[in-house]
Structure 1
Amino acid sequence: MTAHIRFLSVAELNDPLTLAIGLSGGSGTGKTYSALLMARGIAETMTGRPGAPIGYVDTENRRALHYKQAFPEMMHFDMQAVDDAGNMIGFGPERWIQVIDAAEAAQLPVVVIDSFSHAWEGVGGVLELHAQTLDRLTGGKDDLKDRRSQLAWAEVKPRYRRLIDRIVRAKCSMIICTRAKPVMQKGFGSNATNARPTKTRREDVPWDPASDGDLMFEMTTMVILDPKAPGCPVHQIKVADQFKGLLDARRPMGVETGRAMAEWAKGQGNAQRQKEILDRARSEARKGAEAFRTFWNSDEGKEHRALLRTILDECQALAQEADAAAAQNDDDPFGLPPVDSDLTPEQRAELEAAERAVLDQQREDEE
C-alpha cells in the first residue's frame, strides 16, 4: 500500500521550530549556568509565561542542583549509570532515546542535557560498545582488531545515528552540553595551531569536544566555551547567520540569548532580516574590495556595522579573491595560471583524452 504523501503550503505551517544548541567546554567554562539561563529564555518565550518548566537531564552527580534556588522552575532527572536496584545500565543510545521520549511526554518546552559526553565515552556509551563489539568479532585477538574495527563500527554507529536522529526530530528544544579537553598545540602564542585537526577539531580551536562530529553538525548552533571567558561563545563552530548577531565572544550568553533564539524559532524577531544583510555583504565582497568598502560605508552598512563585523574576515577574504581574479590579464596567456595546475594525474589524463577526442572529431569533420 502506497503511503499518502501531501505537500503543504508554508502558510499552513505555523508551529514553532525547535532549537538544538550545543555547548562544549572544560571545567569552569560556565556550561551549566549558561545552559540554564538560555533555557529560561527559550522556555518563557516558547510558552509565553514566566517560570515555564526547564527539563534538566543531569549525569554529573546532580551538579545542576547547585542552582536549584536560582532556577526553581527546573524539572530535574538524575541520570546515573546504575538503576535503583544497583544494576549497571549505562548510557547506551537506546536509553537516551527513552529520556527524550519522556521529555516530550511531559510537554517540556526545553531540555538541557548535561553532559551528553556520557553517551559517547561513558559507561555503556558508543566507545565502550565499539570496544565490546570488536572483542566479540576478533575473539580478543589484538592482531585482528585493526582489520575489523570498521566492522565493529558498522554495528554500533547505526544505533548512535538513531539517537542523533531522535534529537533532530525532538518536539522540544534542546541544549546539549558536552565536555571538552585541551588538545596538543604546535607553535606558540598567536601562531599556535592544533597539531592534528579532525572533523571535530578545528585547527584554530584548542579544545576537542568529547562527542562525535555527527552530533556537532546537526546542531542549530554549536559553540565551545573557554575558561578564560566563562559563558562566552569564544569558539563558534557552527552558527547560522540568523544567530551571528546574538553571539559575541566577549559577552556571556544568557536569558536574552535564549529568548532571541526562541523568537526566531517562532517566526518572530528580526533574524531573517539580519541574514539578508549578511548575504548582501557577501555579495558586495565578491565584487571586490572597493564595492565592499562602498557598502560598508553606506547608510545600511553603518546601521548594521556591529552585525557585519561578525563576518568581516570572511568578506575581506572574498574581496581579496575577487580583486586577485580581476587583476589577471586575459590578454596575456602567459600571465594566467595553468588551467590544470591543481589536477591530479588521473584528472590530467582524462582532460588530455578529452582534448584528443575533440581534435579527432574535428579531423573527421574536415575529411
Structure 2
Amino acid sequence: MSIRFIPVTQINDPLTIALGLSGGSATGKTYSALLVARGMAQEMVGKSGAPIGYVDTENKRALHYKEAFPEMMHFDFAATNEAGEVVGFGPERWIEVIDAAEAAELPVLIMDSFSHAWEGVGGVLDLHAQVLDRLVRDKEAQNARYNNTSPVDPAKYSQLAWAEVKPRYRRLIDRIVRAKTNIIICTRAKPVMQAGFGAKAKNARPTKTRREDVPWDPASDGDLMFEMTAMVILDPSAPGCPVHQIKVADQFKGLFDPRRPMGEYTGAAMAKWARGQSEAQEQKAIMDGARDKAREGTEAFTAWWNSDDGKAVRPVVRPIMDEIQALCRVADEVATISDDVPFGRPDEDYGETFTGEADRG
C-alpha cells in the first residue's frame, strides 16, 4: 500500500455532515429533520427543490409531509421483504441503503428511525439475544455430552455474544461517518427515571454516556452520539428546539439555540461550513478569545464585554455564556489563593506550616 500525505491546500472536497436528532414523541424530529435537510440540500446543490432522501422505518410516517416536501425521495424500510419474510433491520441492510443513496447522488439522507438498527427486529439487541441463546444452547449440549448437570449461566456468555455482534454494528457506524452524502439520523428517546423532585431532581441511574442534566436516553448505542458532527436531543416542552446539546462544536453553537426551532437556515449554515464557505473558523476564534478573557476573572471579562470589542462580538459569544461564567468563577477563586499556601489550602488544614527544606526529608 502506497501512503501519500496531501497538503491541505490541495484538498478542496466538501466535508460531509452527520447530524443526530433524538427525542421522545411529539418533539418534532421528523419535521425538523426535513426542514434541516431541505436547507442542507439546497445549499449543496445550489438550487431549490434539491432532492432529500428519506429512509422511513415507521410505516410511511414521513409521507404525512409529502405535500409540504415534494422533493422527498422516499424509501419504505420495512422489517419484511416483498415476499413477506422477516428480514429485520440488521446493520448490513442500513449499509445497503447508504450505498444506494450515494449511487443516486442524493445530497442528504434522513434515516428515521435509526433506533430500529439498535432495538428493532434484527437490530443489534435482537442479534445479541440470538447469538447469546446459541452460545448457551451449545454449552448446554456440550455439558450433556459429558454428563455435566451444572446449569449454564447466560451472563457468562454475554460478552462473547457482543464480540460477535458489535463489529457488524461498528462497520455500519464507520459507513455513516465515511458517507459521501450528508446524513441526518433520527432516534427515539426515552425519559430517564428521576430521583428527587423539582429543582433537586436528577437522573436516578447514571451511565458512562448519560449526563445528569439530560433527562432523556436515546434508543441507540451510547457511542453513536459522539460519532456525529453534531448531536442534540429535543424535548416535548419545546418541539423542534435543540434543548439538550450533547455534542455541538463551536462552529455550530450559534446555530443551535435551545429557544429557537431548527429550520432550513440550520441546514444551509451547516452545509456552508462543510463547503468551507462559512465564518465558522472566525467565530471559533472569537469564542476562544472570550474564553481567554474569562480566565482572567469576572472583572476583566466584564470590562472587555462592555468595551467596543466585546460589544461587537456579543452575538457570537452568547451561546457559550454558561462556560464563560464557569471560567470566570474558577479564575476568581484562584485569585484568592495566596502563593505562600501550598495546594491552595490554609496552613491550619495541615496542623503545621509547610516550610520547604525541613519537610523534604
Is this a same-fold pair by TM over 0.5?
A: yes
What is the distance in 1 between the residues matched to 2:248 and 2:178?
A: 19
Deviations 1:21-70 (A, max 9, x none): 00001111100000000000000000111101000000010000011111
For the 8 Å contact 1:200–1:208, the answer to whether it is kept is no
- 1:363 is aligned to none
- 2:83 is aligned to 85
- 1:226 is aligned to 235
- 2:144 is aligned to none
What is the distance in 1 between the residues matched to 2:320 and 2:342?
A: 35
For the 8 Å contact 1:281–1:308, the answer to whether it is kept is yes
Deviations 1:82-120 (A, max 9, x none): 000011100001111111001000000000000000000
- 2:99 is aligned to 101
What is the distance in 2 between the residues matched to 1:295 and 1:327?
A: 21
SS in 1 for 2:68: coil
For the 8 Å contact 1:22–1:177, the answer to whether it is kept is yes
Gaps of 5+ in 1: 342-357, 360-367
1:255-266 correspondence runs (5 A): 255-266=264-275
What is the distance in 2 between the residues matched to 1:276 and 1:88?
A: 52
Question: Of residues 283, 299, 306 in structure 2, which corresponds to 1:290?
Answer: 299
1:230-269 correspondence runs (5 A): 230-269=239-278
Question: Of residues 154, 168, 178 in structure 1, which corresponds to 2:177?
Answer: 168
Seen in structure 2, the aligned counterparts of structure 1 residues 143 and 317 have a Cα distance that, compared at 3 Å, is: farther
- 1:19 is aligned to 17
- What amino acid maps onto 1:116 in structure 2? F
What is the distance in 2 between the residues matched to 1:119 and 1:268?
A: 34
1:280 aligns with 2:289: yes
Question: Of residues 25, 32, 35 in structure 2, which corresponds to 1:34?
Answer: 32
Gaps of 5+ in 2: 141-150, 351-359
1:36-115 correspondence runs (5 A): 36-115=34-113
- What amino acid maps onto 1:295 in structure 2? W
For the 8 Å contact 1:39–1:110, the answer to whether it is kept is yes
- 1:158 is aligned to 167
Question: Of residues 210, 214, 218 in structure 2, which corresponds to 1:201?
Answer: 210
For the 8 Å contact 1:330–1:336, the answer to whether it is kept is no
With 256-265 and 322-331 compared, the bigger mean Cα shift is at 322-331
Seen in structure 2, the aligned counterparts of structure 1 residues 143 and 334 have a Cα distance that, compared at 3 Å, is: same
What is the distance in 1 between the residues matched to 2:70 and 2:346?
A: 65
Deviations 1:238-266 (A, max 9, x none): 10100000111111000011101101111
- 2:134 is aligned to 136
What is the distance in 2 between the residues matched to 1:172 and 1:337?
A: 58
Report deviation, 1:197.
2.2
- 1:345 is aligned to none
| CA-based RMSD | 1.8
Report deviation, 1:202.
1.4
Deviations 1:267-296 (A, max 9, x none): 012111111111111111122222222222
Report deviation, 1:333.
4.3
What is the distance in 1 between the residues matched to 2:208 and 2:84?
A: 38
- 2:221 is aligned to 212
Report deviation, 1:308.
1.6
Deviations 1:288-335 (A, max 9, x none): 222222222222321222332211111111122122223211224496
SS in 2 for 1:213: coil
- 2:357 is aligned to none
Question: Of residues 330, 337, 340 in structure 1, which corresponds to 2:339?
Answer: 330
What is the distance in 2 between the residues matched to 1:86 and 1:150?
A: 33
For the 8 Å contact 1:200–1:209, the answer to whether it is kept is no
What is the distance in 1 between the residues matched to 2:125 and 2:346?
A: 47
- 1:347 is aligned to none
With 185-194 and 169-178 compared, the bigger mean Cα shift is at 185-194
Query: Number of residues paired by the alignment?
Result: 339
- 1:124 is aligned to 122
With 291-300 and 63-72 compared, the bigger mean Cα shift is at 291-300
What is the distance in 2 between the residues matched to 1:86 and 1:161?
A: 28
- What amino acid maps onto 1:289 in structure 2? T
- What amino acid maps onto 2:44 in structure 1? M
With 183-192 and 259-268 compared, the bigger mean Cα shift is at 183-192
Deviations 1:321-351 (A, max 9, x none): 122223211224496379xx9xxxxxxxxxx
